[in-house]
Structure 1
């Protein structure tokens, strides 16, 4: 927390990171099924993904406490080689933070960006909602 008892701006980034990791690995991993040929699909983002950009609007101070907050996450932009996740950090119906993160799929072995796989795109499309996007300044 900061000197005023607010959740520090860096901690907000950590909240977003925890939500993003849960979404891209646990939720995406649970969505993996079998292909038409009977083989198992590779888990989404297994070969890697990197954060290319964060944008955060702090709408009101969030005071430090021990109760959890809610981080809602959805996809607002889906390109061939990037995805934009939008978030709201909420508590008790109030929105404290709106943010966006641009994620780039990455080939860790080749050390370079790559395109989304068909499985990744299919998973992300299930969470696509640009009508619920944050204000136009994020676009």
Structure 2
């Protein structure tokens, strides 16, 4: 099973009054990692997969440890835990090599922007996603 690795920069504006990355900012980090992961299939090779749009149906976030603002990026690992007919679940860990700050998951629904309705996952998308399937989360803390 492969994991998608995204190096996410921390921004000065991400910090709260206590010098920690604010809890709502982690959603933006997850979005950056998810976009970087899902759109690796579409651009460049002419594939229409995932380029039509998608919507977030659900987020779950467990804040494990505070992340203090610093100049070095944080690593976000992403993988797929479920592929349905018209949705998928992506799991994440926001971490450094020796500590995990956040564990999260997102349910994503492919969306037909023209028709303004959800659509099924294509065979090409399913094949891409299956390379990243794992139903368990890392136990690193």
TM range (shorter): 0.7 to 0.9
Q: Which residue of 2 aligns with 1:28?
A: 41
In the alignment, structure 1 residue 87 sits paired with structure 2 residue 92: yes
TM-score, structure 1 normalization: 0.84
**Are the structure 2 counterparts of residues 59 and 83 from structure 1 closer, same or farther at C-alpha, using a change threshold of 3 Å?**
same
What is the rounded CA distance, in whole Å, between the counterparts of 1:103 and 1:45 in structure 2?
11
How far apart are residue 134 of structure 1 and its match? 6.6
TM-score, structure 2 normalization: 0.82
**Root mean square deviation of aligned Cα:** 1.8
- Counting matched residue pairs gives 125
Structure with bigger gyration radius: 1
Q: Which moved more, 1:91-100 or 1:101-110?
A: 91-100
Q: Which residue of 2 aligns with 1:133?
A: 137
Q: Which residue of 2 aligns with 1:3?
A: 17
What is the rounded CA distance, in whole Å, between the counterparts of 1:81 and 1:31 in structure 2?
25
Instruction: Identify which of structures 1 and 2 has the higher relative contact order when contacts are C-alpha pairs closer than 8 Å and 6+ apart.
Output: 2
What are structure 1's unaligned runs of at least 5 residues?
33-39
Structure ranking higher in helix proportion: 1
Equivalent pair of 1:86/1:134 in contact (CA under 8 Å): no
Q: Which residue of 1 aligns with 2:6?
A: none
How far apart are residue 28 of structure 1 and its match? 1.8
How far apart are residue 128 of structure 1 and its match? 0.5
What are structure 2's unaligned runs of at least 5 residues?
1-14
Other structure's SS at 2:41 match: helix
Equivalent pair of 1:98/1:134 in contact (CA under 8 Å): no
Q: Which residue of 2 aligns with 1:14?
A: 28
Q: Which residue of 1 aligns with 2:60?
A: 55
